[in-house]
C-alpha cells in the first residue's frame, strides 16, 4: 500500500509525539537570571513558616543553574521532542524527561536539606493520547507534594519551569510510587507496605 503525503506526515508527527513527554521548545539562556532565582527563592519560602531562608536560596540556585549544566552534558541543541528522538536513536547519551528528573533529584539531595523535602512525580499516567512525564517536586519538610512546587527543566531544554502541581495545565501529577505500584512496576517487600500504599499485595517490577 502506498501512503499519501498527508498520511506519512501524520505518522511522523505521531512518532515524534510518542517519543516525548509532551513539550514546547523554548530558547534557553546561557546563564541563570538572578531575578528568576530570587523569585523562586521567595516561592519556596512561602511553602511553610519553618523553611530556612538559606536552604530556600540554595534550592532555588541549584534548580536554575544545574539544568544548564545538564543541558551541556546531554548535548541539548534542539527542542525537548527532537532531543528525545536523538536519545532514543542513540545519538545523545541522556536527556529524556526521567533523566532530567533523576539527575535533578540527585543534585538537590546532595544539599541535605533539613527544612525542605523532595518528591518524585509522574504526570499524565494512564491518560489516553498523553505521554507520561517525570519531575521533581520540592515542598516544606513533612508536607504533601501537592503543597510543593514542580521543578521541571526538561520541557524547555534546561530552562526551568516551576509552579504548583495543580496549576500545571500540561500535566496531571501523581506521586511516582502510586503510578509505579498501579502499573506493577514497584516492589513492596511486605504485605503491610503494600496495604499502606493502598494495594492488596506485594507489587512486582515488570
- pTM reported for the whole predicted model: 0.78
What is the pLDDT, as a whole number, of residue 171?
A: 96
What is the pLDDT, as a whole number, of residue 15?
A: 46
75 in Cβ contact with 94 (< 8 Å): no
What is the pLDDT, as a whole number, of residue 81?
A: 84
What is the pLDDT, as a whole number, of residue 29?
A: 56
What is the pLDDT, as a whole number, of residue 20?
A: 43
What is the pLDDT, as a whole number, of residue 185?
A: 74
Residue 149 to residues 20, 117, 161: CA-CA distances in angstroms? 22, 11, 10
pLDDT beneath 70, residues of the chain: 1-30, 186-206
Q: What share of the chain is helix, strand, coil (3-state, %, to 5)?
A: 45, 15, 45
What is the pLDDT, as a whole number, of residue 129?
A: 85
Q: Per residue in 38-97, pLDDT tens?
A: 999 999 999 999 999 999 999 999 999 999 999 999 999 988 889 989 999 999 999 999
What is the pLDDT, as a whole number, of residue 198?
A: 53
What is the pLDDT, as a whole number, of residue 100?
A: 97
CA 137, chain centre distance (Å): 8
CA 145, 101, 133, 185 dihedral sign is negative
Cβ within 8 Å of residue 77, ≥6 positions away = 83
What is the pLDDT, as a whole number, of residue 101?
A: 97
Amino acid at each position: 500500500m502506498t501512503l499519501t503525503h498527508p498520511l506519512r506526515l501524520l505518522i511522523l508527527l505521531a512518532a515524534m509525539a510518542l517519543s516525548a513527554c509532551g513539550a514546547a521548545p523554548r530558547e534557553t539562556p546561557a546563564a541563570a537570571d538572578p531575578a528568576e532565582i530570587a523569585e523562586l527563592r521567595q516561592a519556596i519560602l512561602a511553602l511553610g513558616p519553618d523553611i530556612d531562608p538559606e536552604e530556600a536560596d540554595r534550592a532555588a540556585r541549584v534548580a536554575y543553574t544545574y539544568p544548564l549544566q545538564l543541558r551541556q552534558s546531554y548535548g541539548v541543541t534542539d527542542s525537548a521532542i527532537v532531543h528525545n528522538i536523538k536519545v532514543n536513536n542513540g545519538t545523545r547519551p541522556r536527556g529524556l524527561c526521567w533523566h532530567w528528573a533523576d539527575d535533578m533529584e540527585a543534585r538537590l539531595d546532595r544539599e541535605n536539606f533539613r527544612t525542605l523535602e523532595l518528591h518524585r512525580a509522574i504526570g499524565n499516567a494512564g491518560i489516553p493520547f498523553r505521554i507520561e512525564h517525570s519531575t521533581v517536586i520540592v515542598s516544606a519538610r513533612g508536607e504533601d507534594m501537592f503543597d510543593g512546587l514542580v521543578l521541571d527543566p526538561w520541557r524547555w531544554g534546561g530552562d526551568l519551569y516551576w509552579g504548583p502541581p495543580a496549576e500545571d495545565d500540561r500535566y496531571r501529577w501523581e506521586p511516582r510510587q502510586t503510578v509505579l505500584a498501579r502499573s506493577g512496576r514497584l516492589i513492596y517487600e511486605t504485605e503491610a507496605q503494600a496495604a499502606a500504599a493502598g494495594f492488596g499485595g506485594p507489587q512486582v517490577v515488570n
